Amino acid sequence: MLEKDIQEVLFSQQQLAERVDQIAQEITRDYAGKEIVLISVLRGSFVFMADLCRRIDLPCTIDFMSVSSYGKGTSSSGQVQITKDLSGDISGKHILVVEDILDSGNTLSYLLKLLEQRAPASIRLCTLLDKPERRVKPVEVHYSGFTIPDAFVVGYGLDYAEHYRNLPYIGILKPEVYGG
Ligand code: IMP
Ligand code: MG
């Protein structure tokens, strides 16, 4: 019943699983001998985080942060608000921020600056999707799953007005759903 709102499937469950596996292998190699803190930016990254962390073969801890920059629309407001902060101290630790999608860059440029002030040993960004055409603020990306065109996508954690997060694949939402 959710499929009726999807214009086109961009990444199937299998494509997502294969790419997540490759990224996890890269991370495992790059951080060999180190312990990392995976920070999931809620809510969009919860599915990616759950799959990614289980493919990483390193000692790691998990923490969550919640920010809001969107209302019910499909473009960033530019105003970023922390609605839930980390539970743990990150000073002296290797931080990997896990995001669902990098769009304008407003959310992540704000978030990464904030986390840098807490003196981690290192900080890197892992995003499942990247829409470079939409970038307003520059953001350095270390691990990126897929580069996508400027279209509004849902599924695998990504939402429109809090819905469609439970779709097992990533698809382009039909513009008529959001009045586009
Ligand atoms: P930015 O601040 O514009 O980079 O927006 C980042 C946030 O916007 C992401 O974490 C998502 O929550 C949301 N977002 C951006 N593009 C999409 C999309 O195509 N589908 C669903 N959410 C999106
Ligand atoms: Mg979101």
Closest CA to 88 of 60, 67, 107: 60
For residue 154, being part of any structural domain is answered with no
- Per the annotation, the verdict on 51 as an active-site residue is no
Q: What is the pLDDT of residues 111-134, one digit of tens each?
A: 999 999 999 999 999 999 999 999
For residue 81, being part of any structural domain is answered with yes
What average pLDDT score do residues 88-101 get? 98
Nearest protein Cα to ligand 1, atom 15? 103
Q: Could you tell me the distance, in angstroms and rounded to a whole number, from the CA of residue 161 to the centre of ligand 2?
A: 9
| Token pair listed for 133 | 């055409």
For residue 5, being part of any structural domain is answered with no
- Domain enclosing residue 87, as ranges: 15-149
From the list 5, 57, 100, 103, the catalytic residue is 103
pLDDT of 71 higher than 90: no
For residue 29, being part of any structural domain is answered with yes
Q: What is the pLDDT of residues 19-51, one digit of tens each?
A: 999 999 999 999 999 999 999 999 999 999 999
For residue 179, being part of any structural domain is answered with no
pLDDT of 67 higher than 60: yes
pLDDT of 79 higher than 80: no
Q: What is the pLDDT of residues 12-21, one digit of tens each?
A: 999 999 999 9
For residue 176, being part of any structural domain is answered with no
* Whole-angstrom distance, CA of residue 129 vs CA of residue 122: 22
Determine whether the shortest distance from the Cβ of 111 to ligand 1 is under 6 A: no
Mutate which of 7, 72, 158 for ligand 1? The one with the most ligand atoms within 8 Å of its CB, which is 158
| Token pair listed for 22 | 């490759």
Determine whether the shortest distance from the Cβ of 95 to ligand 1 is under 6 A: no
Residues 6+ away with beta carbon under 8 Å from 180: 74, 152
At residue 58, the pLDDT reads 98
Quickly state the pLDDT bin for 70 (edges 50, 70, 90). Answer: low
At residue 72, the pLDDT reads 52
Number of domains within the chain? 1
Q: What is the CATH number of the domain that holds 133?
A: 3.40.50.2020
Q: Could you tell me the distance, in angstroms and rounded to a whole number, from the CA of residue 94 to the centre of ligand 2?
A: 25
Q: What is the pTM of this model?
A: 0.94
For residue 76, being part of any structural domain is answered with yes
